[in-house]
Amino acid sequence: MAVNVAVVGATGAVGEEFLRILESRKFPIKELRLLASKRSVGKKIKFCGVNYVVQELTKSSFRGIKIALFSAGSSISKEFVPYAIESGAVCVDNSSAFRMDDDVPLVVPEVNAQEIAKHKGVIANPNCSTIQMVVALKPIHDAARIKRIVVSTYQAVSGAGLKAVDELQKETASVLAGKTDFKRNLFPHQIAFNVLPQIPQSNAFLPNGYTSEEMKMVNETQKIMGDKNIRITATTARVPVVRGHSESVNIETERKITASEVKKLLSKAPGVKLVDDPANQVYPLANMAAGRDEVFVGRIREDESIDNGINMWIVSDNIRKGAALNAIQIAEKLL
């Protein structure tokens, strides 16, 4: 049955991807409403061959809407999700606004789809780095119980939106032209030809010395996996890549699991593509993941410094499985 769908933040990096995925997966849409800030009002966006005009997001934007996909940041979600619910819509929210609320399901369909049914009008879409990690780790947790995770990320600039992609491109051109006076709007330091151990780019650091992105990986992983006993520590870094987050993940399990058992498990895990042939220099890469749906896993090997340890390299498109695709998979389950 076709339904009325609203996309909030339709002109953003995630919003544009929502539309591509809704179209390619033939999501059953009766009426589509594209919402964004005043800045984007009147902008035309093509969907399934038809031009749609972007409208300003207001309290009354959700009349008749059945499913609202939000990706306009947490302050917009906090303000407008309540109006959408009041209008009878179910919201899938990409922001961090409601993720840790006890009565809001935080869902990655391959891991905890059963939580969707408990929603009270809003389902939270997790952080991009967290999503790709739990898709790969859930089958291992079920088989051998993960006690501890040590993760370091190499995150693409598109996670910070289209303006960040623009800044990387312009700064790269500027550095190549030998100019050193590039004026930055977003990143606190040069991102071209550099690595920044700070995400997000502003108000990142918490009193414990970690960034909010790092603590999202800790708290959201425990909630999605439904296991508060997993100990997790994260370091998140920004690299000059446009699309695709990469992660070095080390796990310690309760029961011994060999690298070949992990490969066997992941070769049939939902949403995962095993790419692990080091002899031929085959392993997951950001430019392999860009534009794709799967979570790519490789470099699987035993951690020889402890009894029950595994190391792996996990890569996925942060705007697709990390955001728009995961949200649309949730919406498909809602229908």
Please list the active-site residues.
Answer: 128, 245
Residue 216 binding ligand L14, by CB under 6 A: yes
What's the rounded Cα separation, in Å, for the pair 34 and 335? 20
Residues in touch with ligand 25A (CB under 6 A) = 9-15, 36-37, 39-40, 57, 71-74, 76, 94-96, 128, 159, 161-163, 318-319, 322-323
Least distance CB 103 / ligand 25A (angstroms) = 19
- Distance, C-alpha 320 to centroid of its chain: 7
Residue 240 binding ligand L14, by CB under 6 A: no
Quick note: the x/- pattern for ligand L14 over 106-145, rule CB under 6 A, is ---------------------xx-----------------
- Pick the closest to residue 230 from 309, 149, 115 (CA basis): 149
* CB-nearer residue toward ligand L14: 143 or 165: 165
* CB-nearer residue toward ligand L14: 128 or 262: 128
* CB-nearer residue toward ligand L14: 95 or 308: 95
Least distance CB 169 / ligand L14 (angstroms) = 17
* CB-nearer residue toward ligand L14: 60 or 202: 202
C-beta of residue 275 within 8 angstroms of C-beta of residue 299: no
* CB-nearer residue toward ligand L14: 40 or 318: 318
Least distance CB 326 / ligand 25A (angstroms) = 8
List CB contacts of 263: < 8 A, sequence separation 6 or more.
274, 276, 300
Residue 160 binding ligand L14, by CB under 6 A: yes
| Partners of 324 in beta bridges | none
Residue 159 binding ligand L14, by CB under 6 A: yes
Where does this chain touch ligand L14 (CB under 6 A) — which range of 112-120, 153-161, 170-178, 273-281?
153-161
3 state DSSP class of 136: helix
Q: Please name the helix (run of DSSP H) or strand (run of DSSP E) that holds residue 259, with its range, or none.
A: helix 259-267
- Distance, C-alpha 138 to centroid of its chain: 17
CA gyration radius, the chain: 20
Residue 171 binding ligand L14, by CB under 6 A: no
Least distance CB 50 / ligand L14 (angstroms) = 30
Least distance CB 199 / ligand L14 (angstroms) = 5
Phi, psi of 53 (to 5 degrees): -100, 130
Residue 200 binding ligand L14, by CB under 6 A: yes
- Pick the closest to residue 194 from 203, 184, 206 (CA basis): 184
The residue sitting closest to ligand L14, measured at its beta carbon, is 159
Where does this chain touch ligand L14 (CB under 6 A) — which range of 23-31, 32-40, 154-162, 266-274?
154-162
179 binds, options ligand L14, ligand 25A, none, Cβ within 5 to 8 A by partner type: none
* CB-nearer residue toward ligand 25A: 201 or 308: 201
Q: Please name the helix (run of DSSP H) or strand (run of DSSP E) that holds residue 141, with its range, or none.
A: helix 128-144
Supply 152's token pair.
């370091």
Residue 223 binding ligand L14, by CB under 6 A: no
What's the rounded Cα separation, in Å, for the pair 198 and 131? 19
Say what angle helices 128-144 and 212-225 make with each other, to 10 degrees.
40
What's the rounded Cα separation, in Å, for the pair 268 and 271? 9
| Partners of 15 in beta bridges | none
- Pick the closest to residue 3 from 77, 80, 62 (CA basis): 62
- Which residues form the interface with ligand L14 (CB under 6 A)? 96, 127-128, 155, 159-160, 199-200, 213, 216
